[in-house]
Structure formats: C-alpha cells, structure tokens
Amino acid sequence: MMLPGRPPQLLSAGDVCLLGCTAYTIASDPALPPLDGQPFYGAGCDTARLGGDETVSIGGTVTFAPGHADFLLGMLPDFLFVPRSSAASGAISTILGLMDDEAKRDIIGSGIVSARLADVLLVEAIRAYAGSVGQVEIGWLGALSDPRLGRVLRVIHGDIAQPWTVARLAGVAGMSRAAFSAAFTRRVGQPPLAYVRAWRLTIARVAVARGDDTVASIAGQVGYTSQSAFGHAFKRAFGRPPKAHAFRSS
C-alpha cells in the first residue's frame, strides 16, 4: 500500500487498513509503474484478482449520512493500519473469517449478513487502532482514547445545546482551563469551543436538509439563542444560509 508522503506499507494476510480522503496505490512492488486498477475488478465485484487466485483482497466503502462525512473524516487519520499481529486484532481475525465463510456460502441473505459484518469490522478496526499505544497522537480518536478528554467529548455529544464554556468543559475534564484548552487543541486539532461550534453546525445541517423543523427551532436545538447568529454561523461554515441549504437539498 502506497500513499502520498508515506513510505510503502506492507500488507500481509489478516491485516486491515482503513483509508480516508487520500489517494493510494496497491502494488506487489513499489518500483512497478502504477496502472488503473478498475479493469481488474469484475462487474459488480469488490474483489480484485491479478494473475489468478493466489492473492485475494477484500475491499469496500463506507457511506455517511449527508452532512456528516466532512466532519467525521476530518477527525480521522487518512490511513489507519491494524496488523494481524496487533494484540487487539483478535476480533478482526474472527470477523474476516466469518466474512470469508459467508462469501463462500453464497446463500439467501448473504449480502445482508456480509454488510453487517463489514460494519462490525469497521468499528473493531477503529477500536484496535485507537487502543494501540503510541499510534494515535492527534485527532478525534486520540482525544477519545484520553480518559479526561474522552469524557468531555461524550458530554458535548450527549447534550450539544448546553451553553458550553471552556471553564465548564475543563471542570468535566478535571483540569485547569489553560491546561484543558491546550490539551484539547493539541489532541483534537482545534480549540474546544471551535469543536463545539463545528459539531452544532454539523447536526444542524443534517436537520435543515431533512426539513425536520423550522430554522428557528433547529437553531435552539443545537444551542443557539439567536436565529440571526445561527444563520450567520451557518452561512460562514457552509457558504449559504439555512433556508437556501434546505431548498437546495430537497
């Protein structure tokens, strides 16, 4: 596996990698010239075969609800690698075995079962990566893995409409304001209140696009006491006001 700005990563049987918004190349030898991979896939197939069945890789994609992808992918590394040798990869090996068995059975309902197994595989891969000592330094996963910052993220996500301040969040973390703000910014990549604002607007964008309620009601649900302030923040973040976003999404 080759990605921009990284040394080649060798993948062995049982290894799992998750790719974000990045270009990548799969190669048997980094020195070989790259070719378009699409012709090696059969119609409607997620398995590429080159030179027979000696090496078979299973791949897939994860889709997000509209409005969530940018926020979530921006909080994850571009490349998450979980080797089979990892201490936390036991569940992953089991899931891969079940997926292989399901593909070979080819019976009614196999597509549904495989899709659910893929969901579990994604969660377990993220868990394994996040639990690997020293791997996650910056980003959403790193903060979730930190007991104090993880507690803060959970209370933010649990009640986004609260009038959160740095002082209140620092209290949840059990830290001084200065130490908390510095630690949160270093681990998450943005200051605490910037994260709160981004999550509020992400939730609001989904609600506006679905037409769940009036703009004023949605603004209140995500913690804005002023519809005008909400409208300005929404437009600054997404380039158009809430009502225009709802019209365009419908």
- pLDDT score recorded for residue 68: 61
Dist CA 231 CA 195 (whole Å)? 18
- pLDDT score recorded for residue 250: 47
Q: What value does the mean pLDDT of the chain take? A: 82
- Residue after which a domain boundary falls, among 171, 189, 207: 189
The torsion of the CA quartet 126, 128, 134, 136, rounded to 10 degrees, works out to 10
Residues 123 and 21 in one domain: yes
Beta bridge partners of 58: 47
Residues 112 and 145 in one domain: no
Per the structure block, which two tokens stand in for 170? 């620092």
Residues 126 and 30 in one domain: yes
Q: Is residue 8 part of a domain?
A: no
pLDDT tens for each residue of 105-136: 778 888 888 888 888 888 888 777 776 645 55
Phi-psi bin for 122: left (phi > 0), alpha (psi -120 to 50), beta?
alpha
Higher pLDDT, 229 or 65: 229
- pLDDT score recorded for residue 5: 86
Residues 145 and 179 in one domain: yes
**Residue 33 backbone phi and psi in degrees, to 5:** -70, 135
- pLDDT score recorded for residue 248: 54
Domain count for the chain = 3
Q: Is residue 48 part of a domain?
A: yes
- pLDDT score recorded for residue 45: 61
Higher pLDDT, 49 or 194: 194
Residues 43 and 75 in one domain: yes
Higher pLDDT, 153 or 57: 153
Q: Is residue 91 part of a domain?
A: yes
Residues 30 and 87 in one domain: yes
Exposed, middle or buried, 86 (CB in 10 Å: 0-12/13-18/19+)? buried
Find tokens 């000696």 and name the residue.
54
DSSP state of 75: T
Q: Is residue 45 part of a domain?
A: yes
- pLDDT score recorded for residue 124: 83
CATH of the domain at 208: 1.10.10.60
- pLDDT score recorded for residue 91: 83
Q: Is residue 225 part of a domain?
A: yes
Beta bridge partners of 80: 18
Residues 85 and 32 in one domain: yes
**Is the Cα torsion angle 15, 16, 20, 26 positive or negative in sign?**
positive
Q: Is residue 9 part of a domain?
A: no
Residues 41 and 120 in one domain: yes
pLDDT tens for each residue of 132-179: 645 555 566 667 778 899 899 999 999 999 999 999 999 999 999 999
Residues 178 and 150 in one domain: yes
Terminal CA-to-CA distance of the chain, rounded, Å?
Answer: 40
Higher pLDDT, 64 or 126: 126
Residues 235 and 204 in one domain: yes
Q: Is residue 4 part of a domain?
A: no
Residues 200 and 214: beta-carbon distance below 8 Å: no
Show the domain range for 159.
140-189
Residues 70 and 21 in one domain: yes
Residues 185 and 205 in one domain: no
Q: Is residue 11 part of a domain?
A: no
